[in-house]
Amino acid sequence: MKKLLYISLLFALILSSCKKDNLKNYSNPHITSFYFNKHEKIEGIEKIKFTVDTTACIIYNKDSASFNCDFSRVLPVVSTYETLSSISINGYGWNRVDSIDMRAPITISTVGGNKKRSATYTVILNKHKVEPDSIIWSKTSINENNITSIKSSTYNNVIYLFFTNNSGETKIYSSNTGNNFSLIYNISDLNLNFNKSTIKNEKCLVASGDNKSLYYIDLTNITSGFSPIELPESSEIIDLWGIINNKLFATIKSDSPKYMSYDDTSWVEEKCNMLDELTTIGSAKLCNDNSLFVISGSINDNLTNNVLATQDGNYWINTINQADTLLYEPVNNACVVDYYDYFYLLGGTKKDGTTPNCYYSKNDGYSWNQLKSYQRPAKDFTAKVNMTACALNDYIYMFNCNSSSNIEIWRGRINKADFIND
């Protein structure tokens, strides 16, 4: 029994001696990888990819983390080439299980196993400083050109793109993947103007090129084509504003402009406190769940800075009059899209015929600013006269074209931590 105990103690002593001897042989203190453990309050934090520069001793993430993420208590995972004798963060010993405050850059100091070499790394967590977050863009195209009017929308998780060309064709493309669009409808005997159109749910309503006819198509039965909607006698459409409370609101001119609604059966003249403003031509229009917005356009050939809004179709306010920050440049035939609680105003033409900057606002329309450099598409992006946009499944889509170019499809996604590497 004593002999067995002696052998056990001897083996333990030899093992301990081997560990000390091995540790003395470890001379490389450098870090090989850095990432975060999963966090119950920051979805996808473990997907943030860091670069470890062993020459400059800097660790940083290439893609910016979301503005909204709280990095005050996160747990890094640090791997090294060899076993260390010690590791510390910001000068304090670290046991690798305590969370770290990463709201500001930190330093990680490592000491090799032989205690002869050390390294100090600066860890920088790149995070957006302002809202909204940056947008990561990709570009594809549709081989269609000579576009005269264009409109996009989504229904039942499908993107629909409507347009007419200078050959008189009306075409509809669709996609349920967001990348590959297919032609699903083509007709050449209608002269439609999708600059004067509105789409909500399964209905697309569009004026004719001469403004004297109105048509609709049901997205659940596209093969049935466009059907006419009878207008009041001897009238023409100034513009369609949108559908709210199951009624289409439009300004229609016979002997004088009239503000009217259509409920699938008949036209009714409605009261309106801003009829003069709603004789606008070429406005950007947006219809969300409970409001209509009509932005810019021209009245008697003069561009306006209006941002008109209504929740019932009858009483309108001009939100731009209440703004105290930068106004957007007045523009004709721009488009507006509601994406992650912001309005994006894109494309169109200014008074001098040039295309304006792109703007964004909180989706109340009260104040506008130019898109920041980190929100814009790539350097080769130029806003063209004909543009439309929609949003689906975390993505924003811009369809951009002019009389000679193919239709560019710009697909963007806000750079949030939960899909940084998607």
List pLDDT tens digits, range 353-388. Answer: 888 888 888 888 888 888 887 788 877 788 777 889
Tell me the CB-side half-sphere exposure of residue 30, using CA atoms within 13 A.
10
What is the percentage of the chain residues whose pLDDT exceeds 70? 89
CB of 193 closer than 8 Å to CB of 181: no
pLDDT computed for residue 310 by the predictor: 95
- Domain 135-419, CATH class in plain words: mainly beta
pLDDT top residue among 320 and 314: 314
Each residue's pLDDT tens digit, 65-121: 776 678 889 999 999 999 999 999 999 999 999 999 998 999 999 999 999 999 999
What are the CA-CA distances from residue 162 to residues 153, 183, 399 (Å)? 9, 10, 11
Structural domain boundaries of the chain?
21-124, 135-419
Query: Can you say whether the dihedral through the CA atoms of 375, 241, 173, 264 is positive or negative?
Result: positive
Question: Shortest CA distance to 32 belongs to which of 121, 134, 129?
Answer: 121
Torsion of CA 113, 115, 121, 123, to 10 degrees: 60
CB of 307 closer than 8 Å to CB of 345: no
Tell me the CB-side half-sphere exposure of residue 129, using CA atoms within 13 A.
3
pLDDT computed for residue 416 by the predictor: 61
pTM comes to 0.70
Which pLDDT band holds residue 325 (cuts at 50, 70, 90)?
low
pLDDT computed for residue 251 by the predictor: 96
With a cut of 90, say whether residue 5 has pLDDT above it: no
- Provide the CATH number for the domain formed by 21-124 in this structure: 2.60.40.2340
Decide whether 21-124 matches 135-419 in CATH topology.
Answer: no
